[in-house]
Amino acid sequence: MQERYDHLSEQWEKKMEQAEQHSRKKIKDQKNRELFEKLFPELKRIKEPSEKINRIDARGINIVRSDAEFHELMDALNEQAEV
């Protein structure tokens, strides 16, 4: 029974991963995000610093290209630490 559960859960995880990566879902999510950001501008202000950090991390490069980028990164980290 455990083997069957493991097999079915693995199949389900693969299907969910494929669904998350589908281009139609990404477009729909982006439209929803734009709508919510228009209705609730404070959400955008809350998400921007963490998204900037995630983009920097996603590059896999821990190099700050300018003093301005360094200060923005430090401000974002300080804001995250306060929350």
- DSSP assignment letter at 74: H
**DSSP three-state, residue 60:** coil
> How confident is the model at residue 9, as a pLDDT?
95
The 10s digit of each residue's pLDDT in 21-68 is 888 988 999 999 899 889 988 888 888 877 777 776 666 555 666 777
**DSSP three-state, residue 33:** helix
Distance of CA 9 to the CA centre of its chain: 24
Structure tokens at 73: 């990164």
